[in-house]
A = this chain, B = another copy of it.
Amino acid sequence: MNEEIKALQEEILNLIENKKLQDLKRILSEINPADIALILDEIDEKDLPVVFRILPKELAAEVFAYMESDSQEFLISKFNDKELKSVLDELFIDDTVDIIEEMPASVVKRILSQTDAATRKVINQLLAYPDDSAGSIMNTEYIDLKKTMTVSDAFERIRRRGVDSEIIYTCYVTDARRRLLGIVSVRDLLLNAPDAIIEDIMEENVIFANTLDNKESVAAMFEKYDYMAIPVVDNENRLIGIVTVDDAIDVIQEAATEDIEKMAAISPTDKPYLKTGVFSTFKSRIFWLMILMISATFTGAIISSFEEKLTFVPALIAFIPMLMNTAGNGGSQSSVTVIRALSLGDVEFSDIFRVIWKELRVALVCSVALSVVNFAKMYLIDYLIFHNFDPGRQIEEILVVSITLFIAIIVAKVVGSVLPIIAKKLGADPAVMASPFITTIVDAVSLIVYFNVAVLILNI
Protein backbone atom coordinates (compact mmCIF):
# COMPACT_ATOMS: atom_id res chain seq x y z
CA MET A 1 0.00 0.00 0.00
CA ASN A 2 1.60 3.30 -1.03
CA GLU A 3 1.68 6.61 0.82
CA GLU A 4 -1.17 8.18 -1.12
CA ILE A 5 -3.53 5.32 -0.34
CA LYS A 6 -2.43 5.27 3.30
CA ALA A 7 -3.30 8.97 3.56
CA LEU A 8 -6.73 8.30 2.03
CA GLN A 9 -7.27 5.47 4.50
CA GLU A 10 -6.48 7.82 7.44
CA GLU A 11 -8.92 10.35 6.09
CA ILE A 12 -11.65 7.74 5.62
CA LEU A 13 -11.19 6.36 9.14
CA ASN A 14 -11.46 9.90 10.47
CA LEU A 15 -14.69 10.54 8.60
CA ILE A 16 -16.16 7.25 9.87
CA GLU A 17 -15.28 8.10 13.44
CA ASN A 18 -16.88 11.52 13.15
CA LYS A 19 -19.86 10.10 11.27
CA LYS A 20 -19.36 12.49 8.34
CA LEU A 21 -21.05 10.17 5.88
CA GLN A 22 -21.67 12.75 3.16
CA ASP A 23 -17.98 13.64 2.97
CA LEU A 24 -17.14 9.96 3.05
CA LYS A 25 -19.44 9.33 0.10
CA ARG A 26 -17.83 12.15 -1.88
CA ILE A 27 -14.30 10.94 -1.21
CA LEU A 28 -15.12 7.34 -2.06
CA SER A 29 -16.62 8.39 -5.39
CA GLU A 30 -13.23 9.84 -6.33
CA ILE A 31 -11.20 6.71 -5.57
CA ASN A 32 -10.65 3.82 -7.95
CA PRO A 33 -12.61 0.65 -6.97
CA ALA A 34 -9.39 -1.41 -6.70
CA ASP A 35 -7.99 1.12 -4.23
CA ILE A 36 -11.23 1.28 -2.21
CA ALA A 37 -11.01 -2.53 -1.88
CA LEU A 38 -7.39 -2.25 -0.67
CA ILE A 39 -8.46 0.28 1.96
CA LEU A 40 -11.50 -1.71 3.08
CA ASP A 41 -9.37 -4.85 3.44
CA GLU A 42 -7.28 -3.02 6.03
CA ILE A 43 -9.88 -1.21 8.16
CA ASP A 44 -11.57 -2.60 11.23
CA GLU A 45 -14.24 -5.21 10.43
CA LYS A 46 -16.94 -3.39 12.38
CA ASP A 47 -16.59 -0.35 10.08
CA LEU A 48 -16.83 -2.41 6.88
CA PRO A 49 -20.63 -2.58 6.47
CA VAL A 50 -21.03 1.16 7.20
CA VAL A 51 -18.60 2.16 4.46
CA PHE A 52 -19.83 -0.47 2.05
CA ARG A 53 -23.49 0.60 2.32
CA ILE A 54 -22.55 4.16 1.38
CA LEU A 55 -21.19 3.08 -2.01
CA PRO A 56 -23.49 3.37 -5.05
CA LYS A 57 -24.78 -0.05 -6.17
CA GLU A 58 -22.60 -0.61 -9.23
CA LEU A 59 -19.44 0.67 -7.54
CA ALA A 60 -20.18 -1.46 -4.46
CA ALA A 61 -20.23 -4.62 -6.57
CA GLU A 62 -16.99 -3.68 -8.32
CA VAL A 63 -15.26 -2.98 -5.00
CA PHE A 64 -16.61 -6.24 -3.60
CA ALA A 65 -15.07 -8.21 -6.48
CA TYR A 66 -11.63 -6.73 -5.71
CA MET A 67 -11.72 -7.47 -1.95
CA GLU A 68 -9.91 -10.29 -0.10
CA SER A 69 -12.05 -13.37 0.50
CA ASP A 70 -11.96 -12.91 4.30
CA SER A 71 -13.55 -9.47 4.01
CA GLN A 72 -16.02 -10.74 1.42
CA GLU A 73 -17.12 -13.53 3.72
CA PHE A 74 -17.52 -11.12 6.63
CA LEU A 75 -19.59 -8.72 4.54
CA ILE A 76 -21.85 -11.49 3.24
CA SER A 77 -22.51 -12.53 6.82
CA LYS A 78 -23.66 -8.96 7.54
CA PHE A 79 -25.80 -8.60 4.39
CA ASN A 80 -29.51 -9.30 4.47
CA ASP A 81 -30.82 -11.31 1.52
CA LYS A 82 -31.83 -8.21 -0.42
CA GLU A 83 -28.40 -6.62 -0.07
CA LEU A 84 -26.68 -9.84 -1.08
CA LYS A 85 -28.89 -10.17 -4.15
CA SER A 86 -28.23 -6.58 -5.19
CA VAL A 87 -24.43 -7.13 -5.08
CA LEU A 88 -24.69 -10.45 -6.92
CA ASP A 89 -26.85 -8.92 -9.65
CA GLU A 90 -24.14 -6.40 -10.43
CA LEU A 91 -21.20 -8.87 -10.41
CA PHE A 92 -19.87 -10.54 -13.54
CA ILE A 93 -20.47 -14.27 -13.43
CA ASP A 94 -16.77 -15.14 -13.50
CA ASP A 95 -16.19 -12.92 -10.45
CA THR A 96 -19.10 -14.60 -8.64
CA VAL A 97 -17.53 -17.96 -9.39
CA ASP A 98 -14.13 -16.78 -8.10
CA ILE A 99 -15.81 -15.65 -4.86
CA ILE A 100 -17.76 -18.89 -4.47
CA GLU A 101 -14.57 -20.94 -4.84
CA GLU A 102 -13.13 -19.32 -1.70
CA MET A 103 -16.25 -19.52 0.50
CA PRO A 104 -17.31 -22.22 2.99
CA ALA A 105 -20.28 -24.41 1.94
CA SER A 106 -22.87 -22.54 4.03
CA VAL A 107 -22.02 -19.20 2.36
CA VAL A 108 -22.04 -20.81 -1.09
CA LYS A 109 -25.54 -22.10 -0.39
CA ARG A 110 -26.72 -18.61 0.59
CA ILE A 111 -25.17 -17.09 -2.53
CA LEU A 112 -26.74 -19.64 -4.85
CA SER A 113 -30.14 -19.15 -3.19
CA GLN A 114 -30.00 -15.44 -4.12
CA THR A 115 -29.29 -16.00 -7.84
CA ASP A 116 -31.88 -16.83 -10.45
CA ALA A 117 -32.08 -20.30 -11.99
CA ALA A 118 -30.34 -19.37 -15.27
CA THR A 119 -27.37 -17.74 -13.50
CA ARG A 120 -27.18 -20.65 -11.06
CA LYS A 121 -26.93 -23.05 -13.98
CA VAL A 122 -24.04 -21.10 -15.53
CA ILE A 123 -22.29 -20.86 -12.16
CA ASN A 124 -22.52 -24.60 -11.66
CA GLN A 125 -21.17 -25.20 -15.17
CA LEU A 126 -18.22 -22.90 -14.52
CA LEU A 127 -17.53 -24.51 -11.14
CA ALA A 128 -17.33 -27.88 -12.87
CA TYR A 129 -14.31 -26.95 -15.01
CA PRO A 130 -10.96 -28.16 -13.62
CA ASP A 131 -9.08 -25.57 -11.55
CA ASP A 132 -6.31 -25.14 -14.11
CA SER A 133 -8.50 -25.02 -17.24
CA ALA A 134 -9.46 -22.15 -19.53
CA GLY A 135 -13.08 -22.85 -18.50
CA SER A 136 -12.29 -21.92 -14.91
CA ILE A 137 -11.19 -18.38 -15.79
CA MET A 138 -13.53 -17.56 -18.65
CA ASN A 139 -16.39 -15.10 -18.68
CA THR A 140 -19.69 -16.23 -20.15
CA GLU A 141 -20.85 -12.73 -21.05
CA TYR A 142 -19.87 -11.44 -24.49
CA ILE A 143 -21.45 -9.91 -27.56
CA ASP A 144 -22.54 -12.43 -30.16
CA LEU A 145 -23.65 -11.47 -33.66
CA LYS A 146 -25.13 -13.28 -36.63
CA LYS A 147 -23.33 -13.14 -39.94
CA THR A 148 -26.37 -11.70 -41.73
CA MET A 149 -26.54 -8.63 -39.46
CA THR A 150 -25.46 -5.19 -40.67
CA VAL A 151 -23.04 -2.89 -38.91
CA SER A 152 -25.89 -0.81 -37.53
CA ASP A 153 -27.64 -3.97 -36.27
CA ALA A 154 -24.37 -4.78 -34.54
CA PHE A 155 -24.16 -1.36 -32.85
CA GLU A 156 -27.78 -1.71 -31.81
CA ARG A 157 -26.98 -5.04 -30.17
CA ILE A 158 -23.88 -3.67 -28.45
CA ARG A 159 -25.92 -0.77 -27.05
CA ARG A 160 -28.54 -3.19 -25.77
CA ARG A 161 -26.16 -5.78 -24.26
CA GLY A 162 -23.08 -3.62 -23.71
CA VAL A 163 -23.65 -2.58 -20.14
CA ASP A 164 -23.43 -6.14 -18.93
CA SER A 165 -20.42 -7.23 -20.95
CA GLU A 166 -16.93 -7.10 -19.54
CA ILE A 167 -15.51 -6.71 -23.02
CA ILE A 168 -17.61 -5.22 -25.76
CA TYR A 169 -14.88 -4.42 -28.24
CA THR A 170 -14.66 -7.80 -29.87
CA CYS A 171 -17.91 -9.36 -31.06
CA TYR A 172 -18.22 -13.03 -31.89
CA VAL A 173 -20.14 -14.22 -34.94
CA THR A 174 -21.90 -17.55 -34.34
CA ASP A 175 -24.25 -19.77 -36.34
CA ALA A 176 -27.57 -21.21 -35.21
CA ARG A 177 -25.78 -23.92 -33.18
CA ARG A 178 -23.56 -21.33 -31.46
CA ARG A 179 -20.52 -22.50 -33.44
CA LEU A 180 -17.90 -19.78 -33.77
CA LEU A 181 -17.67 -18.44 -37.34
CA GLY A 182 -15.56 -15.32 -36.93
CA ILE A 183 -14.87 -12.15 -35.01
CA VAL A 184 -15.58 -8.48 -35.66
CA SER A 185 -13.99 -5.71 -33.62
CA VAL A 186 -15.79 -2.49 -32.80
CA ARG A 187 -12.93 -0.88 -34.72
CA ASP A 188 -14.06 -2.77 -37.85
CA LEU A 189 -17.64 -1.72 -37.15
CA LEU A 190 -16.65 1.94 -36.81
CA LEU A 191 -14.59 1.90 -39.98
CA ASN A 192 -17.29 0.30 -42.16
CA ALA A 193 -20.54 1.69 -43.56
CA PRO A 194 -23.67 1.17 -41.40
CA ASP A 195 -25.22 -1.13 -44.03
CA ALA A 196 -22.16 -3.37 -44.50
CA ILE A 197 -22.89 -7.03 -43.77
CA ILE A 198 -21.05 -8.69 -40.89
CA GLU A 199 -20.18 -11.74 -42.98
CA ASP A 200 -18.24 -9.51 -45.39
CA ILE A 201 -16.17 -7.76 -42.74
CA MET A 202 -15.64 -10.50 -40.16
CA GLU A 203 -12.23 -12.11 -39.62
CA GLU A 204 -12.53 -15.85 -40.08
CA ASN A 205 -9.05 -16.88 -38.95
CA VAL A 206 -9.88 -16.87 -35.30
CA ILE A 207 -7.46 -17.89 -32.58
CA PHE A 208 -9.48 -19.70 -29.90
CA ALA A 209 -9.03 -21.95 -26.89
CA ASN A 210 -10.89 -25.02 -25.69
CA THR A 211 -12.67 -24.97 -22.30
CA LEU A 212 -10.36 -27.76 -21.12
CA ASP A 213 -7.08 -26.19 -22.31
CA ASN A 214 -4.61 -25.44 -19.54
CA LYS A 215 -5.15 -21.86 -18.38
CA GLU A 216 -1.41 -21.13 -18.49
CA SER A 217 -1.26 -22.02 -22.16
CA VAL A 218 -4.24 -19.73 -22.81
CA ALA A 219 -2.44 -16.93 -20.94
CA ALA A 220 0.60 -17.58 -23.14
CA MET A 221 -1.61 -16.98 -26.21
CA PHE A 222 -2.21 -13.42 -24.98
CA GLU A 223 1.52 -12.89 -24.73
CA LYS A 224 2.04 -14.18 -28.24
CA TYR A 225 -0.90 -12.61 -30.08
CA ASP A 226 -1.45 -9.36 -28.16
CA TYR A 227 -5.23 -9.83 -27.95
CA MET A 228 -7.68 -8.29 -25.48
CA ALA A 229 -9.86 -11.41 -25.30
CA ILE A 230 -9.74 -14.96 -26.62
CA PRO A 231 -12.91 -16.96 -27.32
CA VAL A 232 -13.31 -20.34 -25.62
CA VAL A 233 -15.19 -23.17 -27.34
CA ASP A 234 -16.24 -26.65 -26.23
CA ASN A 235 -15.41 -29.92 -28.00
CA GLU A 236 -18.23 -29.33 -30.51
CA ASN A 237 -16.73 -25.93 -31.40
CA ARG A 238 -19.59 -24.09 -29.73
CA LEU A 239 -18.71 -20.71 -28.23
CA ILE A 240 -18.95 -20.99 -24.43
CA GLY A 241 -17.20 -17.87 -23.18
CA ILE A 242 -14.24 -15.56 -23.47
CA VAL A 243 -11.04 -15.18 -21.47
CA THR A 244 -10.12 -11.52 -21.03
CA VAL A 245 -6.61 -10.13 -20.82
CA ASP A 246 -6.95 -8.98 -17.18
CA ASP A 247 -7.58 -12.59 -16.11
CA ALA A 248 -4.65 -13.72 -18.28
CA ILE A 249 -2.34 -11.30 -16.42
CA ASP A 250 -3.42 -12.81 -13.10
CA VAL A 251 -2.71 -16.30 -14.45
CA ILE A 252 0.74 -15.21 -15.69
CA GLN A 253 1.67 -13.74 -12.29
CA GLU A 254 0.30 -16.74 -10.41
CA ALA A 255 2.23 -19.12 -12.65
CA ALA A 256 5.48 -17.20 -12.18
CA THR A 257 5.01 -17.13 -8.40
CA GLU A 258 4.27 -20.86 -8.37
CA ASP A 259 7.37 -21.62 -10.42
CA ILE A 260 9.51 -19.45 -8.15
CA GLU A 261 8.10 -21.14 -5.04
CA LYS A 262 8.64 -24.62 -6.42
CA MET A 263 12.19 -23.75 -7.44
CA ALA A 264 12.87 -22.77 -3.84
CA ALA A 265 11.33 -26.03 -2.54
CA ILE A 266 8.12 -24.41 -1.34
CA SER A 267 4.70 -25.92 -1.98
CA PRO A 268 2.66 -23.17 -3.70
CA THR A 269 0.17 -21.18 -1.66
CA ASP A 270 -2.37 -18.85 -3.21
CA LYS A 271 -2.55 -16.01 -0.70
CA PRO A 272 -0.32 -12.93 -0.41
CA TYR A 273 2.62 -13.44 1.97
CA LEU A 274 1.40 -11.37 4.91
CA LYS A 275 -2.13 -12.81 4.66
CA THR A 276 -0.91 -16.40 4.96
CA GLY A 277 -1.02 -17.78 8.51
CA VAL A 278 2.09 -19.09 10.27
CA PHE A 279 0.83 -22.66 10.14
CA SER A 280 -0.01 -22.50 6.39
CA THR A 281 3.45 -21.10 5.68
CA PHE A 282 4.97 -23.84 7.84
CA LYS A 283 3.00 -26.50 5.96
CA SER A 284 4.10 -25.13 2.58
CA ARG A 285 7.75 -25.30 3.62
CA ILE A 286 8.26 -28.30 5.89
CA PHE A 287 7.57 -31.02 3.32
CA TRP A 288 10.55 -30.26 1.09
CA LEU A 289 12.80 -29.28 4.00
CA MET A 290 12.17 -32.69 5.54
CA ILE A 291 12.66 -34.59 2.26
CA LEU A 292 15.86 -32.73 1.47
CA MET A 293 17.21 -33.13 5.01
CA ILE A 294 16.65 -36.86 4.92
CA SER A 295 18.04 -37.21 1.39
CA ALA A 296 21.23 -35.50 2.63
CA THR A 297 21.78 -38.75 4.51
CA PHE A 298 23.36 -40.03 1.30
CA THR A 299 26.04 -37.36 1.29
CA GLY A 300 26.68 -38.15 4.96
CA ALA A 301 27.00 -41.84 4.14
CA ILE A 302 29.46 -41.11 1.34
CA ILE A 303 31.64 -39.06 3.69
CA SER A 304 31.40 -41.73 6.41
CA SER A 305 32.52 -44.43 4.02
CA PHE A 306 35.66 -42.42 3.21
CA GLU A 307 36.19 -41.29 6.80
CA GLU A 308 39.18 -43.49 7.38
CA LYS A 309 40.95 -42.31 4.25
CA LEU A 310 40.06 -38.70 5.00
CA THR A 311 42.02 -38.86 8.25
CA PHE A 312 45.16 -39.20 6.09
CA VAL A 313 44.39 -36.01 4.21
CA PRO A 314 42.54 -33.74 6.65
CA ALA A 315 43.26 -30.69 4.47
CA LEU A 316 40.74 -31.99 1.90
CA ILE A 317 37.83 -31.72 4.35
CA ALA A 318 37.92 -27.93 4.28
CA PHE A 319 37.11 -27.91 0.54
CA ILE A 320 33.98 -30.07 0.73
CA PRO A 321 31.58 -27.11 1.19
CA MET A 322 33.18 -25.09 -1.61
CA LEU A 323 33.00 -28.01 -4.06
CA MET A 324 29.41 -28.87 -3.19
CA ASN A 325 28.23 -25.24 -3.30
CA THR A 326 29.94 -24.34 -6.55
CA ALA A 327 28.69 -27.45 -8.33
CA GLY A 328 25.25 -26.91 -6.78
CA ASN A 329 25.14 -23.29 -7.98
CA GLY A 330 26.26 -24.33 -11.45
CA GLY A 331 23.57 -27.00 -11.60
CA SER A 332 20.80 -24.76 -10.39
CA GLN A 333 21.75 -22.05 -12.89
CA SER A 334 21.16 -24.57 -15.66
CA SER A 335 18.02 -26.09 -14.21
CA VAL A 336 16.39 -22.76 -13.45
CA THR A 337 17.18 -21.43 -16.94
CA VAL A 338 15.72 -24.52 -18.59
CA ILE A 339 12.65 -24.56 -16.32
CA ARG A 340 11.88 -20.96 -17.19
CA ALA A 341 12.43 -21.65 -20.91
CA LEU A 342 10.00 -24.61 -20.63
CA SER A 343 7.40 -22.37 -18.94
CA LEU A 344 7.73 -19.71 -21.61
CA GLY A 345 7.54 -22.30 -24.39
CA ASP A 346 11.07 -21.54 -25.63
CA VAL A 347 12.22 -25.13 -25.09
CA GLU A 348 10.42 -28.44 -25.72
CA PHE A 349 11.26 -32.11 -25.33
CA SER A 350 12.42 -32.33 -28.94
CA ASP A 351 15.10 -29.74 -28.12
CA ILE A 352 16.73 -32.01 -25.53
CA PHE A 353 19.87 -32.69 -27.59
CA ARG A 354 20.28 -29.01 -28.51
CA VAL A 355 20.02 -28.21 -24.79
CA ILE A 356 22.58 -30.87 -23.81
CA TRP A 357 24.97 -29.73 -26.53
CA LYS A 358 24.65 -26.11 -25.47
CA GLU A 359 24.99 -26.84 -21.74
CA LEU A 360 28.03 -29.06 -22.39
CA ARG A 361 29.83 -26.23 -24.14
CA VAL A 362 28.82 -23.62 -21.55
CA ALA A 363 29.82 -26.04 -18.77
CA LEU A 364 33.20 -26.64 -20.38
CA VAL A 365 34.03 -22.93 -20.52
CA CYS A 366 32.74 -22.39 -16.95
CA SER A 367 34.68 -25.41 -15.67
CA VAL A 368 37.95 -24.29 -17.21
CA ALA A 369 37.57 -20.76 -15.84
CA LEU A 370 36.61 -21.91 -12.36
CA SER A 371 39.26 -24.63 -12.10
CA VAL A 372 42.04 -22.32 -13.24
CA VAL A 373 41.02 -19.57 -10.84
CA ASN A 374 40.60 -22.11 -8.06
CA PHE A 375 44.04 -23.59 -8.72
CA ALA A 376 45.65 -20.16 -8.66
CA LYS A 377 43.77 -19.12 -5.54
CA MET A 378 44.60 -22.34 -3.68
CA TYR A 379 48.24 -22.16 -4.70
CA LEU A 380 48.72 -18.50 -3.84
CA ILE A 381 46.57 -18.18 -0.74
CA ASP A 382 45.94 -21.55 0.86
CA TYR A 383 49.41 -22.95 0.10
CA LEU A 384 51.91 -20.07 -0.08
CA ILE A 385 50.30 -17.86 2.57
CA PHE A 386 48.48 -20.21 4.94
CA HIS A 387 50.49 -23.44 4.37
CA ASN A 388 47.21 -25.32 4.56
CA PHE A 389 48.17 -28.61 2.93
CA ASP A 390 49.83 -31.83 3.93
CA PRO A 391 53.61 -31.67 3.51
CA GLY A 392 55.09 -33.26 0.40
CA ARG A 393 51.93 -33.36 -1.71
CA GLN A 394 50.60 -29.81 -1.72
CA ILE A 395 50.37 -29.57 -5.53
CA GLU A 396 48.69 -32.96 -5.72
CA GLU A 397 46.05 -31.90 -3.21
CA ILE A 398 45.38 -28.66 -5.08
CA LEU A 399 45.06 -30.72 -8.25
CA VAL A 400 42.55 -33.07 -6.61
CA VAL A 401 40.29 -30.11 -5.73
CA SER A 402 40.65 -28.43 -9.14
CA ILE A 403 40.02 -31.60 -11.14
CA THR A 404 36.97 -32.42 -9.01
CA LEU A 405 35.64 -28.91 -9.58
CA PHE A 406 36.10 -29.36 -13.33
CA ILE A 407 34.20 -32.65 -13.49
CA ALA A 408 31.52 -31.70 -10.96
CA ILE A 409 30.53 -28.49 -12.80
CA ILE A 410 30.10 -30.35 -16.08
CA VAL A 411 28.02 -33.11 -14.49
CA ALA A 412 25.98 -30.54 -12.54
CA LYS A 413 25.14 -28.44 -15.59
CA VAL A 414 24.16 -31.36 -17.78
CA VAL A 415 22.08 -33.08 -15.07
CA GLY A 416 20.56 -29.72 -14.12
CA SER A 417 19.42 -29.00 -17.66
CA VAL A 418 18.24 -32.47 -18.61
CA LEU A 419 16.21 -33.42 -15.50
CA PRO A 420 13.54 -30.71 -15.90
CA ILE A 421 12.99 -31.62 -19.56
CA ILE A 422 12.59 -35.31 -18.71
CA ALA A 423 10.33 -34.43 -15.76
CA LYS A 424 8.05 -32.46 -18.08
CA LYS A 425 7.98 -35.29 -20.62
CA LEU A 426 6.95 -37.71 -17.87
CA GLY A 427 4.12 -35.38 -16.88
CA ALA A 428 5.82 -34.24 -13.66
CA ASP A 429 6.36 -30.60 -12.77
CA PRO A 430 9.75 -29.39 -14.07
CA ALA A 431 9.98 -26.62 -11.44
CA VAL A 432 10.23 -29.21 -8.67
CA MET A 433 13.49 -30.35 -10.32
CA ALA A 434 15.08 -26.99 -9.48
CA SER A 435 17.85 -25.97 -7.15
CA PRO A 436 17.36 -27.99 -3.95
CA PHE A 437 16.61 -31.26 -5.72
CA ILE A 438 19.47 -30.86 -8.18
CA THR A 439 21.71 -29.82 -5.27
CA THR A 440 21.15 -33.12 -3.49
CA ILE A 441 22.11 -35.10 -6.59
CA VAL A 442 25.03 -32.84 -7.40
CA ASP A 443 26.32 -33.00 -3.79
CA ALA A 444 26.45 -36.78 -3.91
CA VAL A 445 28.11 -36.80 -7.32
CA SER A 446 30.68 -34.17 -6.30
CA LEU A 447 31.69 -36.11 -3.19
CA ILE A 448 32.04 -39.40 -5.04
CA VAL A 449 34.17 -37.71 -7.71
CA TYR A 450 36.20 -35.92 -5.02
CA PHE A 451 37.08 -39.00 -3.05
CA ASN A 452 37.82 -41.11 -6.10
CA VAL A 453 40.06 -38.47 -7.62
CA ALA A 454 41.80 -38.19 -4.24
CA VAL A 455 42.37 -41.94 -4.03
CA LEU A 456 43.68 -41.97 -7.58
CA ILE A 457 46.08 -39.02 -7.36
CA LEU A 458 47.18 -39.28 -3.74
CA ASN A 459 47.33 -43.08 -3.63
CA ILE A 460 45.57 -43.20 -0.26
Residues of chain A having any CB pair with chain B under 8 Å: 1, 30-32, 34, 155, 158-159, 162-163, 168-169, 186-187, 190-191, 205, 207, 222-226, 228, 245-246, 248-250, 252-253, 256-257, 259-261, 263-266, 272-274, 278-279, 281-282, 285-286, 288-290, 292-294, 296-297, 299-301, 303-304, 307, 310-311, 314-315, 317-322, 324-326, 329-330, 332-333, 335-338, 340-341, 344, 346-348, 351, 354-355, 358, 361-362, 365-366, 369-370, 373-374, 377, 381-382, 386, 388, 434-436, 439-440, 443, 447
User: B249 contacts A288, CB within 8 Å?
Assistant: no
CA–CA, A424 and B273, complex, Å: 17
Chain B nearest CB, measured from A164 CB (Å): 11
Question: A252 is contacted by which of B249, B279, B388 (Cβ under 8 Å)?
Answer: B249
Protomer copies: 2
The residue in chain B whose Cβ has the minimal distance to the Cβ of A158 is B190
Among B250, B348, B373, the residue within 8 A (CB) of A223 is B250
Bound-state CA distance A362–B326 (Å) is 29
Closest beta carbon of chain B to A59's beta carbon, Å: 12
Residues of B within 8 A of A250 (CB): 223
A228 with B225, Cβ < 8 A, contacts A190-B158, A264-B435, A340-B260 known: no
Asked if residues A225 and B32 are in contact (CB atoms below 8 Å), the reply is yes
Residues in B neighbouring A355, C-beta threshold 8 A:
273-274
In the bound complex, CA of A261 to CA of B326 (Å):
16
Interface of A is mostly: helix
Task: Name the B residues within 8 Å of A207 (CB-CB).
Answer: 32
Contact A304 B289 (CB under 8 A): no
Query: Across the interface, which residues of B come within 8 angstroms of A354, CB to CB?
Result: 274
Given A228-B245, A264-B263, A322-B297, residue A370 in contact with residue B290 (CB < 8 A):
yes
Chain B residues positioned under 8 Å from A168 (CB to CB)? 187, 190
User: For A299, what are the chain B residues with a Cβ–Cβ distance below 8 Å?
Assistant: 321-322, 325
Measured between beta carbons, the chain B residues less than 8 angstroms from A248 are 249
Q: How far is the CB of A25 from chain B (nearest CB, A)?
A: 15
A416 to chain B: closest CB distance in Å?
10
Q: Assuming A278-B362, A288-B329, A435-B264, is B337 touching A317 (CB within 8 A)?
A: no
Return the contact of A289 from the options B30, B163, B257, B330 (Cβ within 8 A).
B330
A-B CB contact pairs (8 Å), 10 listed = A162-B187, A245-B245, A266-B333, A278-B365, A279-B365, A285-B362, A289-B326, A299-B325, A301-B318, A307-B318
Q: Which chain B residues lie closer than 8 Å to A329 at the CB level?
A: 265, 288-289, 292, 436
Kindly list chain B residues whose C-beta atoms are within 8 Å of the C-beta of A245. Answer: 228, 245-246, 249
- Residue numbers in B under 8 Å from A158 (CB-CB): 190
- Whether B273 and A346, one on each chain, are in contact in the complex, defined by CB atoms closer than 8 angstroms, is yes
Contact of A259 among B223, B260, B447 (CB under 8 A): B260
Q: Which of A187, A259, A301 has the most CB of B within 10 A?
A: A187
By the criterion CB–CB under 8 Å, are B222 and A264 in contact? no
- Is A332 a contact of B264 with CB atoms below 8 Å? yes
State which of B278, B289, B362, B370 has its C-beta within 8 Å of the C-beta of A293. B370
* Pairs A-B, 3 closest by C-beta atoms: A296-B322, A256-B256, A264-B336
B293 to A30, Cβ gap below 8 A? Answer: no
* A34, A223, A260, A374, most chain B CB atoms within 10 A: A260
Q: A299 to B324: give the CA distance in the assembly, Å.
A: 12
Which of B266, B282, B333, B443 touches A337 (beta carbons < 8 Å)? B266
CB neighbours (8 Å) of A319 from chain B are: 300
Contact of A191 with B289 at beta-carbon distance under 8 Å, contacts A260-B340, A326-B296, A354-B274 already known: no
